[in-house]
Structure 1
Amino acid sequence: MTVTETATLVAPGRQHEGRPAGRTAGDLAFRILNYTVFAVLALLCAYPFYYLIINSVSANDVSALGDVRLFPVGFHLENYAEIFQLQGLTNATAVTVGRTVLGTAGTVLVSAFLGFMFTQERMWGRSFWYRFTIITMYFSAGLIPVFIIMRALGLTNNFWVYVLPFLVQPFNIILVKTYVEAMPRSLQEAAEVDGANIVQIFFRIYLQNMTPILATVAIFSAVMQWNMFQDTLIYITDQSLYTLQYQLYMFLNQASSLAQAAQNAGGNLGSIAAAATQQTATSIRMTISVIVVLPIIFIYPLFQRFFVKGIMLGAVKG
């Protein structure tokens, strides 16, 4: 091979030196634009949460004027100390954590079992029961009939009103059913050959291989359970069963009066330092909002790696 031929073969490789093979300048420009657009969108989505946090830890007099936008001003944590001293907040937190844990676990287990059973052709009345479950997504009896049913079942002023009505979630069942249908049928056939019954097949074979879709259902259920306060408003009058969301909902509505009560309790607060930590309606609203949002923000990263896979594989088909 001559020197000229060698130079001809080497030259094309030099044209793309510093870039991966097959990637053009247009591809690189698209990736840069793509990352830039999504970074901007991510910042726009994150800023409201950041705004709540910096206002909750800033000087209350400055925050009340709306002058805190990018960085905290007069950093302090007195707002959280005051909020956690509010009467009933500890018990409400325990009730909410309890309903979230039990409700999520129950919803995941029931959705997984029903989604699995609706794929079994030998299930008696499978098509009827599946359609009967799904139709509840589109039709509801209404608030008053549901309240009457809950009262007849003894679920008013009862902790289990937070758990039992949410066990069967048609949308979650659809996701699980579609996910199970995509799994190899040979798994069940091999277990049946070994003598396993339907319950053993579900718990020992399918349940252990449904982590992505179960994590997705768990996120949906946990967020719903944590954020719910309407059921407390409708079914609960016993203050010991108030949830955190409902308690904070009342605090938000009473923010101005709570701020005034906190100021009166502080006595004669005329100094600049006292004004910075003196409770205002804005500081109470911001602090309460942070307390409500932060737990859910922490949950998402834990399940994020399962979420995309689960929601795609469990997506509704025609």
Structure 2
Amino acid sequence: MVSIKKKKQPLTKGAVIFNLCNYLFFAVMALICAYPFYYLIINTISANGLSANGAINFLPQQIHFQNYVQVLQLEGLPLAATVTIARTVIGTVCTVMASAFLGFMFTQRRMWGRKFWYRFLVITMYFNAGLIPMFITMKNLHLTNTFWVYILPAIVQPFNIILVKTYVESIPSALQEAAEIDGAGILTVFWKVILPTCTPILATVAIFAAVGQWNSFQDTLIYVTDTKLYSLQYLLYQYINQANSLAMLVKNNGTAGMDMAALATQQTPTSIRMTVSVIVVLPILFIYPMFQRYFVKGIMIGSVKG
């Protein structure tokens, strides 16, 4: 048979104008979203005096990298970075596995009290006991001033479980039925059938969990007083809040707080804030593109099925 190829119809004038306006609109939106990050970066590598005066808007001037060198030499920063990396890795793995297993189990009709437990889970998204009861609970469980206060409370996330449940419901039930006919138990079905097919939604959950763990500092503020357990974000949060007072401290009495005071004399409060902000944001900016395709696919499948 001879295949007849249809000629591609030329775009009409209205379609060309629409495409141009569409591209222009999204290009402007992309620039608006990217400019704050660009602004932070160019101000951290420009002369601190010019940055403090608001003279750096589009192009860096008198480029240098001393801000990053000096901030990375702050006392306690390596230990805080280790704590944050550890909580991000362990917390993400635990959250992903718990979300995957519970999301799978909530699709099993034979699960005892399935509807009750699922509704109970959903209710927790709208109601919580509050800060004081939560602190008392953590203290009674002996989790305050321990590393596990970062991990255990964040393992079960209702929203993530709902995402996984919705995704698992889109998987043909024949896969599980075939595995069970071959003698597979519920755990075997989960590990060898369901889990390998859930890569997109698990990557989505991993992004949510990793970003949440990396950016979190309130749990350190509330539950932790041991400086050895300070997270990177909390330590940098302290430096940001103290930037102005550090500069004033050095001006009034040049001997107190030598390590941080030396930083304040070499930098301005503005340069400290911007450099710290870039250090906090950059790891997520590098990691997110690696998971973007899974993220989009997982969200789209979940939204269509829901």
Normalising by the residue count of structure 2, what TM-score does the alignment of the two structures yield?
0.91
* 1:62 aligns to 2:50 (yes or no): yes
Q: Which runs of 5+ in 1 are unaligned?
A: 1-18, 268-276
In the TM superposition, what are the counterparts of 1:227-238 in structure 2 within 5 Å?
227-238=215-226
Deviation at 1:22, TM superposition (A): 6.1
Q: Of 218, 237, 242, which aligns to 1:249? A: 237
- Matched AA of 1:99: R
Deviation at 1:233, TM superposition (A): 0.4
Q: Of 133, 149, 158, which aligns to 2:146? A: 158
Partners of 1:177 and 1:67 in 2: CA distance: 51
SS of match in other structure, 1:76: coil
Query: What is the number of equivalent residue pairs in this alignment?
Result: 291
Question: What does residue 108 of structure 2 align with?
Answer: 120
Partners of 2:141 and 2:304 in 1: CA distance: 34
Query: Rg larger in 1 or in 2?
Result: 1
Question: What does residue 83 of structure 2 align with?
Answer: 95
Q: Of 55, 73, 86, which aligns to 2:61? A: 73
Q: Is the 1:54–1:71 Cα contact (8 Å) retained in structure 2?
A: yes
Question: What does residue 29 of structure 2 align with?
Answer: 41
In the TM superposition, what are the counterparts of 1:136-147 in structure 2 within 5 Å?
136-147=124-135
Q: Of 169, 187, 191, which aligns to 1:199? A: 187
Deviation at 1:139, TM superposition (A): 0.6
SS of match in other structure, 2:303: coil
Question: What does residue 8 of structure 1 align with?
Answer: none
- Matched AA of 2:129: A
SS of match in other structure, 2:214: helix
Flag the 1:253–1:280 CA change in 2: closer, same or farther, 3 A. same
* 1:83 aligns to 2:71 (yes or no): yes
Q: Of 161, 172, 176, which aligns to 2:164? A: 176
Q: Which runs of 5+ in 2 are unaligned?
A: 1-6, 256-264
* 1:215 aligns to 2:208 (yes or no): no
Q: Is the 1:263–1:279 Cα contact (8 Å) retained in structure 2?
A: no
Flag the 1:52–1:262 CA change in 2: closer, same or farther, 3 A. farther
Normalising by the residue count of structure 1, what TM-score does the alignment of the two structures yield?
0.87
Larger mean CA deviation between 230-239 and 305-314 belongs to: 305-314
Q: Of 287, 290, 307, which aligns to 2:295? A: 307
Q: Is the 1:104–1:225 Cα contact (8 Å) retained in structure 2?
A: yes
Deviation at 1:181, TM superposition (A): 0.4
Cα displacement string for residues 174-223 of structure 1 (whole angstroms, at most 9, x for unaligned residues): 11000000111111011001100000000101100101101111111111
